[in-house]
Structure 1
Amino acid sequence: MVSRSGHTAQSRRLQHNTTGFGRMLMVLVAVLASAAMALPAALMSAIPADAKEVSGQIETHATLSEHTIQDTVAVQLNLDFTIPNHTVHAGDTATLTWPSGYVSYTTERFDVKDDDGGVVAVGTCQRGDSKVIFTFTDYVDSHSNITGNVALAFMVDQGHKPEKGKQPFNLQFGGRTITGGDLEYIDMSHDDKNEKFAKYGWQLPDTRDTIQYALRINGAGVPTMNNLTVTDTLGTPGTSYIRDSFQVQRGHFIIDDAGQFDLDGATDVTDQYPKPQFSADGKSFTMQLGNLTDGEGLLVLYRVQANYTPANGEVFENSATATYDGDEDVPRSWTVKWQSASGMANGYNYAIDLSKYDEDGAALAGAQFTVTRDRTGVVEGTMTTDAQGHASIGKLLADDYTITETKAPEGYDTADPVHVTEADLQHAPAKTFAVRVTDRRTAYAIHLTKVDAADANTKLAGATFTVTDGTGSVVGTMVTGADGTASLSGLALDDYTLTESKAPEGYNLDTKPIRVTKEQLRNDARTAEVTVTNAKTPTEPTQPTEPDTPDTPDTPTEPTTPTKPTVPATPAQPTTPTQPRAATPTQSPLAKTGAGIAAIMAAALALAAASGILYLIALRKRIR
């Protein structure tokens, strides 16, 4: 790590003697700045003819951000002021004069505003000038009890340096002498003569958003450095490289009388090297610088720009690494603290205090939050609530922030993001804004399926269960429907017991309690799946039926005596046949009728007798 002071000699040369284009740019900026400083008077309401320089009316109190200062390193003055009523009017001016040996660090026109955006005064300063002038608006005529503060950056006057050592820092403001305490002007620490690679940077004070960086290679002057490659990475979101700002200078580094490196015989050799290769996201670059011989050194210069206006006191991180001869040098990092004039206290001096509760007002421990600055997307810090549900974060700029709960206490859902505005912080008592966040309990569920013990495909309706929580309190009942399922939702994360109070019809009651644990509920669906079986109630065997007693057979009827057939009547005497003609007469069958009838009657009597005998035999068997 190179000391903050290690860039002094070279940065002085770079800041005052850059390329021809750079000099033209600086002249242009100076012209524009001068024009800008002339605008306040034209933009303000008409200045009364009796406008005057304020002398002695404004009460002030001054403090310094540091009590030591070195060449090219800025220090911030914080000046609190109170304007007595009816003493200062529109158009009046108040001049701040720096102590001998010190001058303004930036060229700026800035407004001193109240919390609602009303402009109290307009300040103007010029880099290298010994004065800062404030011009008051008609705000001072329409408001009472006005108080405020300004922040101003100053540096050592290189043409008229202060005495070495500790001296009272006395300045003039509004006709009064005020002191910011003691300030010690000290020598820069000497650069390391054995240094092979270093990185440093500084704010370009004539811009509102740009930082100049430098990579110093082979300050030690080793004879050769082969296959030299440098890699640089931006450490602050919302910043980007100005790609056409890259410049390579070659020469030999020497140590000056102040013990600082200076590039002797510096020559612009930018065109002799490949352009830097940027990463896909534009947040880093790599440069191939080939071989160095004869103890040569290189100075690689480039600029980085913020895509917003930095706040006063904001820090920017950047790091770089060099590799050569197959070895890698220790990564070098550099922090630039932005210094600007401001009419508001924008330092890292605001805080957020968070309280975490559930819907019943109980404090919740273990909730984790990130705090992101909206302007840059940078996570400024994290918070975790303690046993009292409290967490806090400090050292915040006055800006807009988003508080996001990344982990809720177990059994609770994460809350929606909370937005804190710049106005919230500025209006907060003691510059600490209080936030209350409420978490809702996570809703869990139990889903039960009731099936036949012998056939899981048979779903059972009508099973009733009582559900109790870990304390034994009944939280609900479940009754399976036609599909054999039942659900109970809206449950807290707890252990539960299901007890069957009624079995499905035709099935035995299952008296064994069913346990549902927290682990079963901890899943993406937040639902515990439970399957319960029931065995059928066995059927009672039926008693065999006693056979009926057979009925007593009726006494057979005595067979009747068969009716004696009547004797057929004697047939009538046939008439005397007509005498046939010539034919011989044949005997008629009727001549035998008497004998045929007798035979028929005998057969009938025999049949009747046989029938009677057979009936008697059958009757007798039946009786037996």
Structure 2
Amino acid sequence: MDTISNIKVSNNEGGDLNWDLQQWATFRINADFDLSGKNVKAGDSTVVTVPDALMITSSSFPIRDLNTNEVIANAKVNPDNKSITITYTDYVEKHSDTSGSFFFYARIDFKKHPQKGEVPVEITINNETKFAGKVSFTGVGDGNPRLLTKTSWVNAGDQREIQYTISVNRTKQNIKNATLEDHLQFTNASYVKDSIKIIKGKFSFDAGEWVFSDRVDVTDQHKITISEDGRSFVIDLGDVTENDQYRIAYNVRLNYDPADGEVLRNEATLKGIGIETKI
């Protein structure tokens, strides 16, 4: 059932999209629909599919009448086949002249389309293709390699445990007498004993994401000093060459249940002769 009368791209706020999209940036695809004269029945559906160079980032959502807030249709997102199936409710049988609009969010599927340039947004509605405009993409680039980066997340099975990873030397530099220091900036917490692991490997930026391969555990080859209060440590990495790249992983144990959204800061510093960088 083709009920879509118009479809176009916009920025996330509904205005003109007049800039280049970066790797993770989203934008809107806006659609108008008109059921007049279509004899739409409850259970009928319309399938909206985005091109292979895009991916849908919205979750499934209801499409409502703006005046009554009643549900006209339910839009089910299938991210795997890049489609949205719009299934109409019995509202359409009682209001045959219904029209309105909806939108969803999308981004460039940079694994399918890593290159810089314009991407035509051709939306397939059932078996008919409609042109919604075009977007410009910066391309995935080189991943912005940095000497030191850090990520963290709360353990899914234990909210009192935070897991950290620090990536060292994606920039492939030579560093004499390198040390990595880490300091917890919050109290009521300490490092989990024996959780600090030093992994040596190779970083590469592949299909828009950083990959760490050829991993070897070298924890026992480096001196690790933990402070008496358990809230900082120093790792002696020695002389780091352009071929030496590391990922350091460790866990931190809280002595309390963190509040939702609570920011738990720690500071990592990489030092060497003529070099000092913090994150």
User: TM-score under structure 2 normalisation?
Assistant: 0.61
Number of aligned residue pairs: 236
Other-structure match for 1:81: 32
SS in 2 for 1:89: coil
Q: How far off its partner does 1:81 sit?
A: 1.6
Structure 2, unaligned runs of 5 or more: 12-16, 154-162, 187-191, 225-230, 252-257
Equivalent residue letter for 1:168: P
- Percent identical: 19
Cα deviations by residue, 1:135-168 (Å, 9 ceiling, x for unpaired): 111122233433131223343163x437652132
Question: Aligned pair in 2 of structure 1 residues 109, 248: CA closer, same or farther (>3 Å)?
Answer: farther
Other-structure match for 2:88: 136
CA contact (8 A) 2:179 2:235 kept: yes
Looking at structure 2, the residues matched to 257 and 80 of structure 1 have their Cα atoms a distance apart, in angstroms, of: 34
Question: Aligned pair in 2 of structure 1 residues 219, 157: CA closer, same or farther (>3 Å)?
Answer: closer
Question: Aligned pair in 2 of structure 1 residues 74, 325: CA closer, same or farther (>3 Å)?
Answer: closer
Looking at structure 2, the residues matched to 163 and 226 of structure 1 have their Cα atoms a distance apart, in angstroms, of: 38
Q: How far off its partner does 1:196 sit?
A: 2.2
- Aligned pair partner of 2:246 in 291, 297, 313: 297
User: TM-score under structure 1 normalisation?
Assistant: 0.31
Structure with greater Cα Rg: 1
CA contact (8 A) 1:248 1:300 kept: yes
Other-structure match for 1:112: 63
CA contact (8 A) 1:64 1:180 kept: no
Other-structure match for 2:214: 265
Question: Aligned pair in 2 of structure 1 residues 321, 253: CA closer, same or farther (>3 Å)?
Answer: farther
Q: How far off its partner does 1:231 sit?
A: 5.0
Query: Larger % of strand: which?
Result: 2
Work out whether 1:225 is the aligned partner of 2:212: no
Other-structure match for 2:47: 95
The 5-angstrom pairing of residues 481-560 of structure 1 reads none
User: Which of 1 and 2 has higher RCO (CA within 8 Å, sep 6+)?
Assistant: 2
SS in 2 for 1:141: helix
Work out whether 1:323 is the aligned partner of 2:269: yes
Query: Larger % of helix: which?
Result: 1
Equivalent residue letter for 2:30: L
Other-structure match for 1:147: 100
Cα deviations by residue, 1:33-78 (Å, 9 ceiling, x for unpaired): xxxxxxxxxxxxxxxxxxxxx12x321232143554455x252333
Question: Aligned pair in 2 of structure 1 residues 226, 126: CA closer, same or farther (>3 Å)?
Answer: same
- The alignment yields a C-alpha RMSD, in angstroms, of 4.8
Other-structure match for 1:58: 4
Looking at structure 2, the residues matched to 257 and 84 of structure 1 have their Cα atoms a distance apart, in angstroms, of: 46
Question: Aligned pair in 2 of structure 1 residues 296, 154: CA closer, same or farther (>3 Å)?
Answer: closer
Equivalent residue letter for 1:266: R
Looking at structure 1, the residues matched to 115 and 170 of structure 2 have their Cα atoms a distance apart, in angstroms, of: 30
Equivalent residue letter for 1:329: T
SS in 2 for 1:329: strand
Work out whether 1:179 is the aligned partner of 2:169: no
CA contact (8 A) 1:253 1:261 kept: no
Structure 1, unaligned runs of 5 or more: 1-53, 203-211, 234-242, 275-285, 309-316, 332-624
CA contact (8 A) 1:322 1:328 kept: no
Which moved further from structure 2: 86-95 or 290-299? 290-299
